[in-house]
């Protein structure tokens, strides 16, 4: 396999050229020398010709500064642009759009530095600073960072200690909805011709609730319609059926989770079930959210419903398969957003 010298830096190429010519002058065959470095056999003859120039010798093989127009922005200015962008919002600089685009970055540079670059140069500069275009995560502005930090450092560790004392189990609970006509992800297609994915003409929807533990346990149930307090109590009865150990259930603050029916039901269990509520607007703290993300990416998104197939049957089969894979369930707890969860 012939090596491409353009993949090597100038200093390395200079060393190879000098060593190769010196070996030929010591008596080795040019073809043997160049083969040992992996270059094309004709390459060494150009080096030998260059080295024979009068008054230059091996100095003629030295690396020379690359020609070309210097960059418009200095390295210091490029780093400054990176600091302006990374972790910041364009609205902080007076723009009316909340996402960074090459056009907005160019306008910001014009405002701050007085230099106008092409969009291609903007993209190259951002890549050079380690910035790449990414799909941002959406996070509610009502989210309380102090409450989130308190949950991770104080509240959840206290729940773990309490569960250990009572020899109880800890599960994270969440609900989600599935649609038969939902198309997740992307597919390749000809430019200007949007690909078509066949989905059932009859709209089908189903709701599901699930609970996961850091030890790989998984429970789920499906139901039709939205969640009410009475239905939540029914789901809790199903989940507790056959359980011997007390259960600490961590869930979000959905109104259906806090109705009088739920409170009355939990109080009548004499400590067998304890509900704990996550901070508001912080779904990323719940590993059960990752169950739904996995299910929706790998279910009907990959294989739409076939004729005569029901969405409820498909979702039930898929969630059953997740429950049979404890290693997969445990992997949901390895996401950085739920790294605070310990396998007690």
Mean local confidence (pLDDT), 302-330: 90
Mean local confidence (pLDDT), 108-136: 91
Q: For residue 131, which of 82, 80, 73 has the smallest C-alpha distance?
A: 82
Query: Tell me, what's the pLDDT at 136?
Result: 79
Q: What is the pLDDT of the chain when averaged over all its residues?
A: 89
Query: Tell me, what's the pLDDT at 330?
Result: 95
DSSP string, 143-205: --HHHHHHIIIIIHHHHHHHHHHTT-EEEEEEEEEEETT---S-----TT--------SS--E
Query: Tell me, what's the pLDDT at 304?
Result: 78
Mean local confidence (pLDDT), 261-266: 97
DSSP conformation class of 249: E
Position 308 pLDDT exceeds 70 = yes
Place of tokens 């869930």: 251
pLDDT digits (tens, 9 = 90+) for 13-46: 888 888 888 888 888 998 888 888 888 888 888 8
Higher pLDDT, 27 or 63: 27
Position 294 pLDDT exceeds 70 = yes
Place of tokens 């030998």: 48
Distance CA 122, CA 81 (A): 10
CB 37 within 8 A of CB 16: yes
Pair of tokens at residue 299: 């279910």
Position 67 pLDDT exceeds 70 = no
Most confident of 68-77, 132-141, 291-300, 315-324: 315-324
What's the Rg (C-alpha) of the chain?
Answer: 31
Query: Tell me, what's the pLDDT at 116?
Result: 94
Question: CA torsion 23→26→30→36, rounded to 10°?
Answer: -30
pLDDT digits (tens, 9 = 90+) for 166-214: 999 999 999 999 988 776 667 777 878 888 777 766 778 999 999 999 9
Report the share of the chain in percent with pLDDT over 70.
93
Mean local confidence (pLDDT), 76-100: 91
pLDDT digits (tens, 9 = 90+) for 316-327: 999 999 999 999
pLDDT digits (tens, 9 = 90+) for 217-234: 999 999 999 999 999 999
Distance CA 183, CA 198 (A): 10
Distance CA 91, CA 313 (A): 47
CB 304 within 8 A of CB 311: no
Distance CA 178, CA 313 (A): 12
CB 211 within 8 A of CB 172: yes
Position 1 pLDDT exceeds 60 = no
Burial class (CB in 10 A: 0-12, 13-18, 19+), 24: buried
Pair of tokens at residue 48: 């030998």
Please give the backbone phi and psi of residue 232, each rounded to the nearest 5 degrees, phi first.
-65, -40
Q: For residue 251, which of 292, 282, 217 has the smallest C-alpha distance?
A: 282
Report the share of the chain in percent with pLDDT over 90.
60
Position 147 pLDDT exceeds 70 = yes
Helix-, strand-, coil-residue percentages of the chain, each rounded to 5: 45, 10, 45
Position 343 pLDDT exceeds 70 = no
pLDDT-derived band at 297 (thresholds 50, 70, 90) equals: confident
């Amino acid at each position: 396999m012939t090596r491409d010298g353009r993949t090597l830096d100038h200093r390395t190429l200079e060393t190879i050229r000098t060593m190769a010519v010196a070996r030929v002058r010591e008596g080795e065959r040019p073809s043997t020398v160049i083969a040992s470095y992996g270059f094309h056999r004709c390459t060494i003859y150009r080096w030998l010709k260059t080295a024979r120039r009068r008054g230059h010798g091996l100095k003629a093989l030295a690396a020379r500064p690359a020609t070309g127009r210097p960059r418009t922005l200095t390295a210091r200015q490029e780093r400054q642009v990176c600091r302006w962008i990374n972790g910041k919002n364009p609205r902080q600089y007076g723009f009316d759009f909340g996402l960074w685009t090459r056009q907005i970055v160019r306008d910001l540079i014009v405002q701050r530095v007085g230099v106008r670059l092409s969009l291609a140069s903007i993209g190259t500069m951002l890549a050079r600073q380690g910035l790449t275009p990414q799909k941002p995560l959406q996070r509610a502005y009502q989210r309380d960072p102090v409450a989130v930090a308190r949950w991770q450092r104080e509240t959840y560790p206290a729940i773990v200690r309490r569960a250990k004392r009572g020899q109880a189990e800890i599960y994270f609970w969440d609900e989600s909805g599935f649609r038969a006509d939902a198309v997740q992800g992307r597919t390749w297609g000809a430019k200007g011709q949007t690909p078509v994915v066949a989905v059932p003409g009859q709209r089908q929807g189903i709701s599901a609730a699930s609970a996961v533990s850091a030890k790989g346990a998984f429970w789920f149930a499906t139901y039709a319609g939205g969640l009410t307090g009475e239905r939540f109590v029914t789901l809790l009865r199903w989940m507790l059926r056959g359980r011997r150990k007390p259960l600490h259930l961590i869930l979000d603050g959905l109104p259906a989770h806090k109705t009088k029916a739920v409170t009355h039901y939990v109080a009548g269990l004499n400590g067998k079930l304890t509900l704990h509520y996550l901070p508001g607007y912080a779904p990323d703290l719940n590993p059960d959210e990752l169950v739904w993300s996995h299910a929706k990416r790998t279910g009907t998104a990959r294989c739409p419903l076939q004729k005569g197939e029901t969405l409820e049957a498909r979702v039930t089969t898929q969630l059953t398969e997740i429950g049979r894979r404890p290693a997969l369930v445990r992997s949901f707890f390895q996401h950085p957003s739920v790294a605070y969860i310990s396998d007690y």
